[in-house]
């Protein structure tokens, strides 16, 4: 499922992106993949995302992205990723 609205983002390069899809909708992986393929990310862009802690961020992020920081607080996972 492709997140709605991502095609409305102006065509420019972003260094920092915040991704906070609705929980329990299985959107983290598809949102990150769509973002990775969008051409909107600058080289070494930083992506901050939140997800329910059950999400395996290793499987949800594109293979080429690195995990810079990972923290679980209660039922929420906070992740700092880099392209």
pLDDT of residue 4: 65
pLDDT of residue 48: 98
- pLDDT by residue for the chain (83 residues), tens only, comes to 556 666 677 778 999 999 988 999 989 999 999 889 988 899 999 999 999 999 999 999 999 999 999 999 999 999 999 99
Sign (positive/negative) of CA torsion 83, 66, 75, 24? positive
> In the numeric block, which tokens belong to residue 54?
């059950």
pLDDT of residue 10: 73
- DSSP assignment of 28-63, as one string? HHHHHHHHHHTT-EEEEEEEEEEEETTS-HHHHS-T
pLDDT of residue 6: 66
């Amino acid at each position: 499922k492709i997140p709605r609205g991502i095609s409305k983002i102006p065509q420019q390069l972003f260094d920092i992106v915040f991704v906070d899809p609705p929980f329990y909708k299985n959107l983290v992986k598809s949102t990150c993949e769509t973002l990775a393929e969008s051409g909107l990310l600058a080289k070494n862009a930083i992506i901050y995302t939140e997800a329910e802690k059950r999400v395996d961020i290793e499987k949800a992020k594109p293979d080429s992205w690195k995990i810079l920081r990972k923290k679980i607080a209660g039922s929420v996972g906070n992740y700092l990723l880099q392209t």
